[in-house]
Amino acid sequence: MNTKVTFKDVARLAGVSTQTVSRVTNNSGYVNEKTRAKVQAAIDQLGYVPNKNAQLMGRKKARVFGVITLNISFQGASRIVEGIRNESKKAGYAISLAVLDDEPDALEHAVRDMKSQQVNAILINAPIAREPAEQLIHDHAPMPFVFIDAPLDAQVNHVMADHRAGGRMAAELMLQQGRTRFAFLNGPEPSTAARLRREAWLDVIDKAGATLVAEETGDWSARSGYTAGAALFSRGQAFDALLIANDQMALGALRACREHRIDVPRQTAVVGFDDTANSEFFCPPLTTVRQNFLEIGHQAVTEALSCIQHPGQPPIKTEVPVELIERQSTAPIESPEIKAARLESLLSELKQML
């Protein structure tokens, strides 16, 4: 990007006055939509980044981290932001927060907005592929970036939970409990976290000779977990283990279990991932893999500070350990003897009722 581009260049390209450019970039005063669109197109074409601090002199001495995140209605995303905020405050930094929407180029626009605020570093908690991540660093050098959901082979600073270890823990628990027929409910395809968890699940069950019966994908939300769970059960393919890529989707899937009269964990055991604040209050309480969101936020700030203090250093890569939390959504599969005894007990109860 050409850092020498000025608002005069934008005005010349858009065919408007510099005052009009100022109104658009500061979102002040009336500008009709057609003119606003022309100015924005010129800004995008030239890669112009307005310096908002020229109007906000009081922020010249501020130390600020820009945080770009997924929708903070996702509990994991909100907790990571909390961890970043806590650690930033300890280091004497404020944060400026941007929540991504589904619009094209939303991330690029958010980065430009953060730069216009003269932030000291940008922390991104959103899925991004290797090439776009590396391109962002190239296009916006020397701005320090830290990513929280980028591929392991990307030459960028990144922090993440040990998703592979967590995926292995979940699948191995199911096998230890005698489960042999698996279904996956995975996260969105662009997410490195979702991909690593799925790869670990598949590796464990393949080595054990277990069967992957069915698979669906959600968008991390409880609603998508419910929809995907219902689709899995509607296929009529029996499975006794359901691995789910996060707890909010597990919440929706557990509702689908109830509606399809699936007894959890007797017929199908369920394991989530995250250990969000409400997971122990699901029905039944959810077995899950705990990732330390606050620590992920802490490590992201640590990496950002290191980049500021040591510009040009090699990329830093940090994996935060995870922990398996066993609750009532998993249990050893019933032996034929136990099943027979349970059926006999049920028949006895029915006879007494008659």
Task: Report whether pLDDT(48) > 80.
Answer: yes
Distance (Å, rounded) from C-alpha 1 to C-alpha 156?
A: 19
Cα dihedral angle (70, 75, 80, 85), rounded to 10 degrees?
100
Note the pLDDT of residue 303: 98
Task: Please state, for a pLDDT cut of 90, what percent of the chain lies above it.
Answer: 72
Domain boundaries, the chain: 1-50, 163-291+324-338
Inter-residue contact 179 to 167 (CB < 8 Å): no
The per-residue pLDDT for 261 is 96
What is the arithmetic mean of pLDDT over 182-192? 95
**Is the pLDDT score of 18 beyond 90?**
no
Q: How sure is the predictor about 62, in pLDDT bands with cuts at 50, 70 and 90?
A: confident
Tell me phi and psi for residue 183, to 5 degrees: -130, 145
pLDDT at 73: 86
Measured CA to CA, the distance from residue 163 to residue 246 in angstroms comes to 11
Confidence at residue 246, expressed as pLDDT on a 0 to 100 scale: 98
Pairing of strands 241-244, 121-125: unpaired
Question: In terms of pLDDT, which residue wins out, 70 or 347?
Answer: 70
Q: β-strand 145-147 against 121-125: which pairing, if any?
A: parallel
Q: What is the mean pLDDT of the chain?
A: 90
Interior angle at CA 302, CA 298 and CA 308, nearest 5: 145
The pLDDT value given to residue 346: 63
Q: What CATH number has the domain spanning 163-291+324-338?
A: 3.40.50.2300
Q: What is the pLDDT of residue 1?
A: 45
- What DSSP designation does 66 have? E
Task: Using the predicted structure, report yes or no on whether residue 57 has a pLDDT greater than 60.
Answer: no
Grouping H, G, I as helix, E, B as strand and the rest as coil, residue 141 is coil
Q: How many whole angstroms separate alpha carbon 288 and alpha carbon 275?
A: 6
Window from 5-9, 113-117, 318-322 with minimum mean pLDDT:
5-9
Which has more confidence, 174 or 39?
A: 174
pTM: 0.79
Q: Compute the average pLDDT of residues 100-110.
A: 89
CA dihedral 262, 268, 269, 274 (to 10 degrees): -70
Alpha helices in the chain (DSSP H): 7-14, 18-26, 33-46, 75-90, 106-116, 130-139, 163-176, 192-208, 222-234, 247-259, 293-309, 336-353
Distance from C-alpha of 166 to C-alpha of 170, rounded to nearest angstrom: 6
Question: Considering the chain, what percentage of its residues have pLDDT values greater than 70?
Answer: 90
Per-residue pLDDT reduced to its tens digit, 71-95: 888 889 999 999 999 999 999 999 9
What tens digit of pLDDT does each residue of 260-280 get? Answer: 999 999 999 999 999 999 999
38-52, 53-67, 256-270, 274-288, range with the lowest pLDDT: 53-67
Residue 23 has pLDDT above 90, yes or no: no
User: Binning pLDDT at 50, 70 and 90, where does residue 58 land?
Assistant: very low
Residues whose CB falls within 8 Å of the CB of residue 159, separated by 6 or more in sequence, listed in order: 146, 147, 148, 296, 299, 300, 303, 318, 320
Among residues 320, 296, 318, the alpha carbon closest in space to that of 157 is found at 318
Q: What are the distances in angstroms from CA 78 to CA 122, 131, 319, 326?
A: 17, 26, 19, 24
Q: Tokens 């959600």 — which residue?
A: 218
The CATH number, out of the four listed (1.10.260.40, 2.30.30.90, 3.40.50.460, 3.30.300.30), of the domain defined by the range 1-50: 1.10.260.40
